[in-house]
Chain A
Amino acid sequence: MTASATRFCRQSAPAAPEIEKQAVTRDLSEQAPGWYVIVWNDHINTMTFVSRIFQKVLGFNKDKAHFHMMEVHVQGKSCVAKESREKAEFYWEQLQGYGLRTTLQKAD
């Protein structure tokens, strides 16, 4: 399913940086809210369940959870958070644990 860009995800994924550069910048990039958490559509998880997971894991209110759930459903994906690496990993862990297809993407 193709998905159009969302508010958080307008830029394409950056090219893989060289290892040396990555080592130097990692400390800063881990703490900065430079990681997108993206949830992808699938045809098994129900809309109610996905909406509830967003409330439970991400602390969204009902309306925001519904908005992102619909974005996943209609557009194929939704960027649900932009966070530090540690927080983004935490969300990935939680969302994946509920059975949602979730990926992380580094911001430019």
Chain B
Amino acid sequence: VQFLKIRQGLELRLVPQERAALEQIFQEIVDDYETPMENLKSAQRAFWSEPKGILEHGYEKEREYWVQHLLSLRDSRLVEVKNWLNHLRGQREAKEVFWKIHQDQIESFLQILNDRRLFLASTEAVTEEEMESNPSDLSEETRRDLVLRIHLLAALMEMAMSAWDLK
């Protein structure tokens, strides 16, 4: 996968396998965002519906406002990632895929990939030790794959940031 800075944003160049992988990532993100709040594990539910850091010093009475704010973030990101998913699905037959991320969408792109990292890590209770380790040293295959997936998402974010922040 290549990220190139273009006039109004970024262009991703993907070979078919990379397109398929990114499509799968976006599908997983859609599934995350569409999971009803009551079916989420407590850590994710807390992220979207318990704005803890602000509910002090008289904020408690504004709880509903902040909960709605967090939920609206989730909803707007869902709309965005669904559009991207549809775009990539429409390119299934392409030999090489060119996908443009407009400059106004770059922050969303990073936030959405990061949401997926946070979601995976909290769902599976990934520890600091696992994150700091070399994934190949992890004895359990499922944990190894999980940590690799989290690092892969970070690598995509890094590529996007490096390309976009180029002078």
A interface, CB within 8 angstroms of B: 16, 22, 26, 43-46, 48-49, 52, 56, 89, 92-93, 96-99, 101-106
Contact = CB atoms under 8 A, between A and B. Distances in A.
Nearest to A57: B107
Contacts of A48: 158, 161
B54 A89 contact: yes
Contact of B56 (A46, A56, A93, A104): A104
B94 interface: no
Interface residues on B, range: 20 to 34
Nearest to A102: B53
Interface of B: 51-54, 56-58, 69-70, 73, 107, 110-111, 114-115, 117-118, 121, 126-128, 131-132, 150, 154, 157-158, 161, 165
Contact of B110 (A49, A93, A96, A102): A49
Q: Please report whether the interface of chain A is mostly helix, strand, loop or mixed according to DSSP.
A: mixed
Given A96-B51, A97-B73, A56 B118 contact: no
Given A43-B128, A105-B56, 6 more contacts: A44-B118, A48-B161, A56-B107, A93-B69, A103-B52, A106-B57
Nearest to B132: A43
A49 B51 CA distance: 22
Nearest to B117: A44
